[in-house]
Amino acid sequence: MSKRTVNSEAFRTTMPQVWRMEGWVKFIEIGNQSFLIEFQKLEDREKVLGGRPWFFNRSLLTLQEVDDTVSINRVQFRYKSFWVQLYNLPLPSMNEEIGAQFAASIGHVIRVKTKLDGLA
Per DSSP, helices labelled H in the chain are: 8-19, 42-50, 96-104
| Same domain, residue pair 87 and 70 | no
Task: Specify if 111 maps to a domain.
Answer: yes
Whether residues 15 and 62 share a domain: the answer is yes
pLDDT at residue 2, rounded to an integer: 65
- Is residue 106 in some structural domain? yes
DSSP state of 57: T
- Same domain (yes/no): 60, 107: no
Question: In whole angstroms, what is the distance from residue 20 CA to residue 16 CA?
Answer: 6
pLDDT at residue 24 in the model: 96
Residue 8, pLDDT > 70, answer: yes
- pLDDT in the model for residue 18: 94
Q: Are residues 30 and 66 in the same domain?
A: yes
Is the predicted pLDDT of residue 21 greater than 80, yes or no? yes
pLDDT above 90: residue 13: yes
Which is nearest to 85 in space by CA: 103, 59, 110, 107?
103
Position 50 pLDDT exceeds 90: no
Mean pLDDT of the chain: 87
pLDDT tens per residue, range 63-106: 888 888 888 777 777 777 777 888 888 999 898 898 899 889 98
Identify the domain containing residue 56 by its residue range. 8-74
